[in-house]
Amino acid sequence: MKKSLLLFGAGLIISAGVFAQYDPENWLVDDQTQNVTALTGLIKTNGYDTELSGQVITTTAPYTYSWETDEVVKIAFTHPGGANWNDFGFFTVQWDGNASDSKFMKDLNGDDQDYQTARGYTIDFTNAENRLISFDVQASAGLNLRLDLKDIAGKTSNGASPNLDVAATTGGVDITDAAKWTNLKYSWGGPILGEVIADESVDIMEDWYSGDWWTVDNTGIKDAENPLSSTQIVGFVLTIDDGNSVPEGTAGDAKDFYIKNIVIGNSAPTTYSPWVNIETVEGNQLEVVNGVVYSATISVVNVLGQVIATAQGQFDISTLPAGVYSIVTAEGTAKIVK
């Protein structure tokens, strides 16, 4: 029998030349999100398309996306040929800071570095019965749809991926016809979640295959099976006709996919609204609660020094378009990046 050398000390275990090098401290982000058990309202009228500091809907070739209405997103897919492993995503966080900075607070040597801050929403999937994503779909042609979760560190739940066959919408796509929409339910907590029966389910949320997290190479320094942070789910990615379901796709094969009514989680959901970065410039008595400023007299000033809005008693920041503003009150002044 081949012998293995084990060394115990200072938390280091070495066995037959295999080193446990994954350090979760090197993959921490500055999480300033609102943590909720479920999230809905990912629509234009709630500001989901504002993309304040990066995309909330991510597509690269062979996908493009467009808003057909304030509530319906169209994904146009053209098969690249062979096996397709490309995906597109819907995210609930954006990143505040210099675009050139890392999303991680430390580099891979464990040293401090300049980093961005996560804003928006994280969804808590600690409870297995809450591990559900549902949405309504239509499709111009039959397709297979795989879904993977993403956590705040950029890990993807590719260790086990629920996927469903979606039939072509009978009689053709018509997004105005309520009867033509099909609801899909994907689970990471088993087939039955309380009173909900999932259409497809798996039992784990682990990253086995990603070669990078938020573009930082993890080759050789990740565990074979890295669990996602169940308390910090930040969205999901979808793959049409992935290489497992369609090993040899036909290049140029085009399909249109329509999606609405996205709900992440299986409990009473919070409704999405854009994050607001508020920095108090002067005065520490300025009261801001859930994006609402409270003061007897409120003035909103743009970067040109123009007063663009006034209010008495309270002012809802969500009514402002994306931009940089100063909120001036008797209690103090705040800089708003929205």
For residue range 173-220, what is the model confidence (pLDDT) as tens digits?
Answer: 999 999 999 999 999 999 999 999 999 999 999 999 999 999 999 999
Q: H or E segment at 298? A: strand 292-302
Cα–Cα nearest to 120, from 56, 34, 37: 34
| Predicted local distance difference test score (pLDDT) of residue 331 | 87
| CA–CA dist 116, 121 (Å, integer) | 15
For residue range 129-185, what is the model confidence (pLDDT) as tens digits?
Answer: 999 999 999 999 999 999 999 999 999 999 999 999 999 999 999 999 999 999 999
Q: Give the C-alpha distances (Å, rounded to integers) separating 199 from 149, 186, 192, 335.
A: 16, 6, 9, 46
Cis geometry, peptide bond prior to residue 80 (ω within 30 degrees of 0): no
Q: Give me the residue spans of the domains in the chain.
A: 21-271, 277-337
Beta carbons of 184 and 199 less than 8 angstroms apart: yes
Number of Cβ atoms within 10 Å of the Cβ of 139: 21
Neighbouring residues of 63: CB distance < 8 A, sequence distance ≥ 6: 75, 76, 77, 86, 88, 240
DSSP character at residue 102: B
Supply the pTM of this predicted model.
0.81
Residue 299 tokens, joined = 């003035």
| CA–CA dist 207, 19 (Å, integer) | 19
- DSSP per-residue codes, 168-206: PPTTS--TT-GGG-EEEEEESS-SEETTEE-SEE-S--E
User: Is pLDDT at 118 greater than 80 in this prediction?
Assistant: yes
SS3 238: strand
